[in-house]
Structure 1
């Protein structure tokens, strides 16, 4: 069965299965169902992840199996050129791409330069093709985690570390300048709380430099952190009077267990909420703050949460935000929550997928993290499975 071309409507309905899975063939639909069924078993996910990593390290012939299953569902290809097939399929459904080089960077200057070179190739590709409006950048891919942590802790840097951090900032500036000139957008990923402050400072510096007329650079706020509403409010206050459009991407957060364990180990208060409802309120509160300041903010709501997605859609409609496609973005991970992404795009909203790519062996840790995160999201697996099952039944497979 070939994929289906859907004509746009004006109503967002996340339960419209025909639109949600319009880009999936019967074979892809069955594979997705199988994968989410397996991912609903956390122990199996952990054991399978460890076994797969070691099998690839030992040179066992499992690459074809991995590439034909979990890799093909969550990744676009081993190169950016390979990923263009997925990019074009999504573009046909009015879904944009956030291209994400997902390989784990080597923690040295050569590794950081390699990531820079890869991102610069992506920017040139985006400029030539016009098919990649967004790219994702992890600051730990272009700079040392240890130096970010020392900066956060206020520890003095050696002369060599100061020079290394200047090179990190230079790499980021090269990326942002190229994105500005190519008329594309850079989403800077968030990291653990004990690394984030100097990353926030770099993001703010780049926004002041390149975001005069549009949000070229977005910083990511993990709203499960207890301090992010205060940070957002303070950022808005500090940026008053500057010619800058703040790029704000909000997510719920990906490191909750790690954050709680480290706080307990080091004896400081947990920086993240313990109750999901508090995170939900924080996320929706950030939406409200951004909408109140939309004259100087561009917002990306990167979430798989249907309630928050509906909330933002309803606010856009209620407030009559006519230029929402330029100022408000929705985003989900490739291979997940297609019912949100494709129905948002079909209803005329700016919707995108984070599309990772990279060599199977080096992106496998990324895919395992995605799988483990998904198993920990309350109700996520059940929701995905019920939708896939309903579509399989609808198609009579």
Structure 2
């Protein structure tokens, strides 16, 4: 395959070269590229993967779904087909967002239907104990679990304290499982810091980016948060400084995160901080990188999340990685494509601004592959770790081939997919010898409705994210039916 052209990105005065995972290069060319600058994404793929490398086989459905009983396969297939019917998604989404949900009998009926269909398919349970049991079942199929207590947008300290207690309970429950069954505890900063305060912090950080002389006396040691192309339009004018009460509340949020980090370290389970919308992402990155400085001195323990559908993802990943190396800490990144595209574009349009999301899906794919390649290179230099969270088979296969080519083991590389999605791909990666996790949200049905609505949008349409799974599940069900009737 032909090499990609060198792309200069608008990170002034920094420039870096990007070549995607599907580039090829001779060893001499790779060595020359490596010498250009430490600010370059460097591709070192050899022309072909070693003969000993296993391939990701998605054709043998009998082997792929060997661990799934027919009843489970039927149920999963039926739900994914239902979600692919666009009128079903449209009506369901409208109902769950409408005032009908304020009518108690209607709400009760809707939540019962949701619980026994989409909730059970996409979520791990209603509490930590149930979620841990689900992880145990999953682990018997050779996959691991990323446990995510799913509240978002806590309004006050009382709600944040309740959420923190549940996160700590999750860690304690996970300790009952065999070692390594749980790959990560996942936390959303919006669950442990009041959403309005996190928005205020993000506004102040954005304004300081616009005006470096603007002082933030409460600001802790952290990494660079913005690149030259990061969106700052959320903060059109100088915000008011935090009040003394807000500063106290911010300290409480830091303490909650610190307590959770300590609990996870005691249990030897890494902590992954989720990414959210651009309105509050600066505050999330600020919390994340402050924790990284404290806890990642020798091994990647606290992981941040980078959304490749953002136009500034490459530059922000580069800046964070450079800063980690300067400080002698190990950067752990969960790389995702992103899940807030409609709301981000709507907000930007309402403010008369360009969307922070890539203009085309191919631009997002290219960005994801380039960031994945960069992080795999970091692993070879022992200065990074990555969770490649993707449902895109092409991206996954390219990353897997490069990991094999570079001799990367499972210690600092994990693939991940959402629970209830991309099952065939997860099992294919597992069969090829990679470590694979499923992202497993849990909480009461009311709490996870925002998450379920995002999954419904992802899977709607016959060419949706679940297309491959639906095809392969039908193939396997047909194979099992024929085998049973012979």
Aligned with 1:110 (options 152, 158, 162)? 158
Query: Which moves more between the two structures, 89-98 or 75-84?
Result: 75-84
Per the TM alignment, residue 105 of structure 1 is displaced from its structure 2 partner at its CA by: 5.5
Aligned with 1:119 (options 167, 172, 196)? 167
Aligned with 1:310 (options 390, 397, 404)? 397
Change (3 A) 1:158 1:303: same
Q: Distance in 1 between matches of 2:465 and 2:357?
A: 20
**What residue number does 1:159 align with?**
244
Q: Distance in 2 between matches of 1:14 and 1:330?
A: 16
SS of match in other structure, 2:478: helix
Per the TM alignment, residue 205 of structure 1 is displaced from its structure 2 partner at its CA by: 1.1
Tell me if structure 2 keeps the 8 A contact 1:105–1:112. no
Aligned with 1:276 (options 342, 356, 361)? 361
Superposed counterparts of 1:240-251, under 5 Å = 240-251=325-336
Tell me if structure 2 keeps the 8 A contact 1:78–1:360. yes
Change (3 A) 1:356 1:179: same
Q: Distance in 2 between matches of 1:40 and 1:100?
A: 25
Query: Which moves more between the two structures, 188-197 or 120-129?
Result: 120-129
Tell me if structure 1 keeps the 8 A contact 2:386–2:412. yes
**What residue number does 1:138 align with?**
188
**What residue number does 2:20 align with?**
none
Tell me if structure 2 keeps the 8 A contact 1:99–1:132. yes
**What residue number does 1:392 align with?**
477
Aligned with 1:45 (options 66, 76, 89)? 89
Aligned with 1:348 (options 433, 437, 449)? 433
Per the TM alignment, residue 335 of structure 1 is displaced from its structure 2 partner at its CA by: 0.5
Q: Distance in 1 between matches of 2:406 and 2:60?
A: 25
- Provide the alpha-carbon RMSD of the alignment: 2.1
Per the TM alignment, residue 373 of structure 1 is displaced from its structure 2 partner at its CA by: 2.6
**What residue number does 1:301 align with?**
388
| Greater relative contact order, per chain length (Cα 8 Å cut-off, separation 6+) | 1
Cα deviations by residue, 1:270-293 (Å, 9 ceiling, x for unpaired): 211010000001000101111221
Change (3 A) 1:28 1:191: same
Aligned with 1:29 (options 73, 79, 82)? 73
* Residue 380 of structure 1 pairs with residue 430 of structure 2: no
Q: Give unpaired runs (5+ residues) of structure 1.
A: 1-8
Per the TM alignment, residue 244 of structure 1 is displaced from its structure 2 partner at its CA by: 1.2
Cα deviations by residue, 1:8-32 (Å, 9 ceiling, x for unpaired): x954213332243234322222222
Q: How many residues align?
A: 387
TM-score using structure 2 length: 0.75
Tell me if structure 1 keeps the 8 A contact 2:61–2:476. yes
Q: Distance in 1 between matches of 2:422 and 2:102?
A: 29
Aligned with 1:181 (options 250, 266, 274)? 266
Tell me if structure 1 keeps the 8 A contact 2:144–2:438. yes
Per the TM alignment, residue 85 of structure 1 is displaced from its structure 2 partner at its CA by: 3.2
**What residue number does 1:4 align with?**
none
Per the TM alignment, residue 75 of structure 1 is displaced from its structure 2 partner at its CA by: 1.4
* Residue 214 of structure 1 pairs with residue 271 of structure 2: no
Superposed counterparts of 1:331-346, under 5 Å = 331-346=416-431
Per the TM alignment, residue 233 of structure 1 is displaced from its structure 2 partner at its CA by: 1.0
TM-score using structure 1 length: 0.91
Per the TM alignment, residue 111 of structure 1 is displaced from its structure 2 partner at its CA by: 0.9
- Structure with max Cα Rg: 2
SS of match in other structure, 1:219: strand
More helix by share: 1
**What residue number does 1:254 align with?**
339
SS of match in other structure, 1:161: helix
Tell me if structure 2 keeps the 8 A contact 1:23–1:90. no
Tell me if structure 1 keeps the 8 A contact 2:152–2:188. no
Change (3 A) 1:122 1:57: farther
**What residue number does 1:196 align with?**
281
SS of match in other structure, 2:279: helix
**What residue number does 2:57 align with?**
13
